[in-house]
Amino acid sequence: MSGMEMVIIGALVSGASAAAEGRAKVEAAEYQRNTYYSNARQAELKGRVDALAYKREGIDILRNVQKTMATATARAASGGLAPYISGESTAMINIASMRGAADEFSIQSDNASLAQSMSQMQADNFRLAGDTGLRMAQKAAKRGVISAVVKGGLMGASSGGFTGNAVPMNSGSMNTINLSGGQTLAGG
């Protein structure tokens, strides 16, 4: 087997081994990316659930203020007051109750929007992490194959297989070499 064939075989064996190892790493990265995508979907769902919980709390606040206003109106009517006349104590109590409820409802609505926005950002981060991990594994696999092919070729060359065009000095096949200045080198 000639030296060049050994270099080629060494490079191919090393390259094939590195390609198989690289493919295994890329598959592992794909599984990890799928896990990140699942986590992203879970984060989106959690954000939607949290947003619905905040909205439900806001609705409960409005229901409670409605009950409070109904109670104040009923008590005013049973006490001989005119419950629907503007400026009466009943109207003032109802306005104060509505103002507080409106503030609380607004806060709950803002919390719902924030929960959904934050979950979306977290989901986007999960997806980005999965995609980045996969791209890095693919690039590392390519670099590994190239590096293994080069190293395998060099190992085949250093094992005495490929010597290039070098001719041993003691082979006797060298002719006289003329140097500048009239000097000569004689082989063998």
More confident residue, 122 or 3: 122
Q: Between the CA of residue 82 and those of 39, 88, 93, what are the distances in Å?
A: 59, 8, 13
Give the tens place of pLDDT for each residue, 108-120.
999 999 999 999 9
Mean pLDDT check: name the lowest of 49-58, 79-88, 112-121, 139-148: 79-88
pLDDT at 35 over 90: yes
Per-residue pLDDT at 34? 95
60 touches 39 (CB < 8 A): no
Whether 65 and 106 have beta carbons less than 8 Å apart is answered as no
Residue 115's SS3 state is helix
pLDDT at 46: 96
Q: Averaged over 1-11, what is the pLDDT? A: 72
pLDDT of 127: 96
Per-residue model confidence (pLDDT) at position 11: 76
Most confident of the ranges 67-76, 77-86, 134-143, 146-155: 134-143
Q: Report the alpha-carbon distance of residue 184 to residue 120 in Å, rounded.
A: 82
Residue pair 46/136 in contact by the 8 Å Cβ criterion: no
- pLDDT tens profile 163-179: 455 555 555 545 566 66
Question: How much is the pTM?
Answer: 0.63
Torsion angle, alpha carbons of 136, 137, 141, 144, to 10:
70
Please report which confidence band the pLDDT of residue 19 belongs to, taking 50, 70 and 90 as the band edges.
Answer: confident
How sure is the predictor about 188, in pLDDT bands with cuts at 50, 70 and 90?
Answer: very low
Q: What average pLDDT does this structure show over 123-129?
A: 96
Residues 11 and 156 sit within 8 Å (Cβ to Cβ): yes
